[in-house]
Amino acid sequence: MKEILAQLGISSQNKGTSTGNHWLAGSGSELESFSPVDGQLIATVQPTDDASYNNVVNTALEAYTTWRTFPAPKRGEIVRQIGDALRANKTNLGKLVSYEMGKSLQEGYGEVQEMIDICDFAVGLSRQLYGLTMHSERPLHRMYEQWHPLGITGIISAFNFPVAVWSWNSALAWVCGNVCIWKPSEKTPLCAIAVQHIVAEVFKKNDVPEGVCCLVQGGRDLGEKLAADERVALVSATGSTRMGKAVAQTVAARLGRSLLELGGNNAIIISEHADLGIALPGAVFGAVGTAGQRCTTTRRLIIHESVYEAFTQKLVKAYGQLRIGNPLDEHNHVGPLIDKDAVTQYLNAIENCKQQGGRFVVEGAVLEGSGYESGCYVKPCIAEVNSQLPVVTQETFAPILYLLKYKTLDEAIALQNAVPQGLSSAIMTLNLREAEQFLSYAGSDCGIANVNIGTSGAEIGGAFGGEKETGGGRESGSDAWKAYMRRQTNTINYSTQLPLAQGIKFDL
């Protein structure tokens, strides 16, 4: 790993603040990045202090006046080169993601692939930032709308997707003409430094001024500062609902814009008409992938009573075959949780579930012994619950799966919707009526609703995000780019008169 770190520009002590190719000194207690894989200290990072923060924001504001003059397709061309630079660094960066965050190597590579894919998407988008034209009610007048950049996009990201979420935001924000300031999770500061080196190099090659891609590092305080900063036009924040509520209120108080991607509590309905051969891997991967630390992780299975026993048995058997261990070893299915706090939350949720009446058919435990020295490896577990106990309605960021039984589809949909979060949902059924009911206005209330695919993960081509406590934001594909731009309506009079709208007369 040492060699990989060096190739990615990471040493044992790193500056954490950057305007692109320039790295600024900060001050304060160093961020320490420990790998959950083996518990080792990987490296330290100097956090951003007030002076370096202001330097970054001022440089970004200055850069914006230049960057917005680049034609959008030219900005797209630079983003295309960023995609190529990521391709060249995919193996190293994927390994670092796996080592610093703890997800499996395949998922680490997959995360970098997602960055590449969104760059490709953004390249095409740079020629498609379309506005509408309208017919004016007045003669010899023309109306149309155009989309302009906003300025600084602040990106606050979570530990579980330490690089991909940033790219969903930045690739779009850049082709739209914005400059970006990234505040990554304090739990994964090194992934951000590696990405910053890769991207800044591309901007330099293209003579783009410092300040278009900026990095600041720190914890909650720094996120709060970014949210409160009137110079930051859009704050895109990914993380817990607790964080999102705080950011939303701070940004709203200054009438800024926020884009929120928060917690999920995702369910799969497994109908009596399900193809259980699809439902099983969909449910198991959804529940245990990334050790249950995806916003789209499957946390609840709502199973029809006629297939409940058979499906539960299949699940228990499948869980018995899971290999838990070092995520860099591709034979393992499940890696560690991010840190010991996450392990405590996992244990608390199990305890609460038991106290509230849940019955575990696969018991949880913290793994000990050789290979598990970091203390972050836990056993994925499954609990049967008769109803949505309080613990079931919360998002515990760990591999705990709750099973619920249903009789009618109406009941299943009601259960699926009866949680505060609204990110991802799925139904496993071969019955057309059931599938359509689930997808209708009276069906799932989530931002993502799938049929015969689990809840976990999503393609970059669609708009990603969810409702209710998930925050309502949409990122990535479809027309999510509109969140990074301001719309301007233009009316042009090419007549010799000044007719007013709504027939109003104003004779002088």
Q: In the block, which residue shows the tokens 């995609």?
A: 83
Q: Is 328 in the site for ligand NAD (CB under 6 A)?
A: no
- The helix (run of H) or strand (run of E) holding residue 299 is strand 298-304
Give the range of 258-266, 372-380, 431-439, 491-499 binding ligand NAD by CB under 6 A: 258-266
338 exposed, middle or buried (CB, 10 Å; 0-12, 13-18, 19+)? buried
CA distance 270 to 279: 7
The DSSP code for 485 is: E
Residues 6+ apart with CB under 8 A from 55: 17, 19, 24
Q: Is 265 in the site for ligand NAD (CB under 6 A)?
A: no
Site string for ligand NAD, 268-297 (x = CB under 6 A): ---------------------------x--
Give the range of 83-91, 102-110, 153-161, 438-446 binding ligand NAD by CB under 6 A: 153-161
449: β partners = 425
Taking the least distance from each CB to ligand NAD, the nearer of 165 and 307 is: 165
Residue number closest to ligand NAD, CB atom: 223
Q: Is 229 in the site for ligand NAD (CB under 6 A)?
A: no
Buried b (16+ CB within 10 A) or exposed e, 183-215: bbbbbbbbbbbbbbbbbbbbbeeeebbbbbbbb
Q: Which of these is catalytic: 107, 114, 261, 395?
A: 261
Q: Is 169 in the site for ligand NAD (CB under 6 A)?
A: no
Judged by CB under 6 A, which of 66, 81, 146, 240 binds ligand NAD? 240
CA distance 117 to 122: 9
CA distance 49 to 30: 11
Q: Is 215 in the site for ligand NAD (CB under 6 A)?
A: no
230 catalytic? Reply is: no
CA distance 348 to 451: 33
Judged by CB under 6 A, which of 47, 223, 336, 477 binds ligand NAD? 223
Residues 6+ apart with CB under 8 A from 101: 36, 108, 159, 160, 162, 187, 188, 191, 338
Residues 6+ apart with CB under 8 A from 365: 378, 379, 381
Give the range of 37-45, 52-60, 143-151, 256-264 binding ligand NAD by CB under 6 A: 256-264
Give the range of 40-48, 89-97, 182-190, 486-494 binding ligand NAD by CB under 6 A: 182-190
Taking the least distance from each CB to ligand NAD, the nearer of 17 and 429 is: 17
Site string for ligand NAD, 460-499 (x = CB under 6 A): ----------x-----------------------------
Total number of residues shown for the chain: 508
Judged by CB under 6 A, which of 34, 53, 161, 182 binds ligand NAD? 161
Give the range of 217-225, 267-275, 375-383, 400-408 binding ligand NAD by CB under 6 A: 217-225
Q: Is 156 in the site for ligand NAD (CB under 6 A)?
A: yes
Nearest C-alpha neighbor of 97 from the set 109, 89, 115 = 109
Q: Which residue numbers are catalytic?
A: 261
What residue ranges bind ligand NAD (CB under 6 A)? 156-161, 165, 183, 185-186, 219-220, 223-224, 227, 238-240, 243, 246-247, 261-264, 295, 395, 397, 423, 470
